[in-house]
Amino acid sequence: MLRKGITESFGAAIHALNTTQLTDGVINRSKRMMLDTLGVGLLGTRTAVFNKALTYSQLFTSHQRSSVWGKSEMTLPPHYAAFVNGIAVHSMDFDDTWHPATHPSGAVLPALLALAETLPSQPSGLDLLLAFNVGIEVQGRLMRFSREAYNIPERFHPPSVVGVMGSAAASAKLLGLSPVECANALAIAASSAGAPLANAATQTKPLHIGNAARKGLEAAQLAQMGLEGNPAILDMNCGFGVYYKDYSPSAMAIPNSSDFKWILEDQDVAFKRIPAHLGMHWVVDAALAARAKLENTVRNFDLSQIRHVTLRVPPSKYVDCPSPATEHQARHSFQFNAASALLDNKVTVPSFSEVQINRPALKELLSKVKVETPKDNQPSFDKMYCEVEMETYQGQRYVARCDTFYGHWRKPLTQKDLVEKFSVNASSVLCTEGVEGVIEVTGNIERVRECSILGSYLRMTSSQHEQVYSTRSL
pLDDT attached to residue 319: 83
Q: Between β-strands 369-372 and 397-402, what pairing exists: parallel, antiparallel or unpaired? A: unpaired
Distances (CA, A) of 236 to 16, 224, 287, 421: 24, 24, 45, 42
Closest C-alpha among 405, 369, 404, 399 to residue 293: 399
Distance in angstroms (rounded) separating the CA atoms of residues 202 and 49? 10
Amino acid at 158: P
| β-pair partners for 372 | 312
Distance in angstroms (rounded) separating the CA atoms of residues 407 and 259? 30
pLDDT attached to residue 463: 63
pLDDT attached to residue 320: 82
For 126, the enclosing helix (H) or strand (E) is helix 125-143
Distances (CA, A) of 194 to 156, 198, 209, 244: 7, 12, 11, 11
DSSP class of 53: H
**Helical H segments across 345-410, by residue range:** 354-357, 360-366
Amino acid at 216: G
For 75, the enclosing helix (H) or strand (E) is strand 75-76
Per-residue pLDDT of the chain (474 residues; tens, 9 = 90+): 344 599 999 999 999 999 999 999 999 999 999 999 999 999 999 999 999 999 999 999 999 999 999 998 899 999 999 999 999 999 999 999 999 999 999 999 999 999 999 999 999 999 999 999 999 999 999 999 999 999 888 899 999 999 999 999 999 999 999 999 999 999 999 999 999 999 999 999 999 999 999 999 999 999 999 999 999 999 999 999 999 999 999 999 877 766 789 999 999 999 999 999 999 999 999 999 999 999 888 777 788 889 999 999 999 888 888 999 999 999 999 999 999 999 999 999 999 999 999 999 999 999 999 999 999 999 999 999 999 999 999 899 999 999 999 999 999 999 999 999 999 999 999 999 999 999 999 999 999 999 999 999 999 998 655 544 443 333
Distance in angstroms (rounded) separating the CA atoms of residues 60 and 76? 8
Closest C-alpha among 44, 126, 121 to residue 84: 44
Closest C-alpha among 366, 312, 316 to residue 337: 366
Angle separating helix axes 78-90 and 109-116, nearest 10 degrees: 150
Angle separating helix axes 164-175 and 109-116, nearest 10 degrees: 30
Q: Are 193 and 243 in contact (CB under 8 A)?
A: yes
Phi-psi group of 310: left, alpha or beta (phi > 0 → left; psi -120 to 50 → alpha; rest → beta): beta
DSSP class of 299: S
State pTM to two decimals: 0.95
Q: ω before 100 within 30° of 0 (cis)?
A: yes
pLDDT attached to residue 253: 86
pLDDT attached to residue 4: 53
Write the DSSP string, 416-467: HHHHHHHHHHHTTTB-HHHHHHHHHHHHTGGG-S-THHHHHHHT-B-HHHHH
Strand positions, DSSP E, 291-377: 306-312, 369-372
pLDDT attached to residue 462: 81
pLDDT attached to residue 26: 97
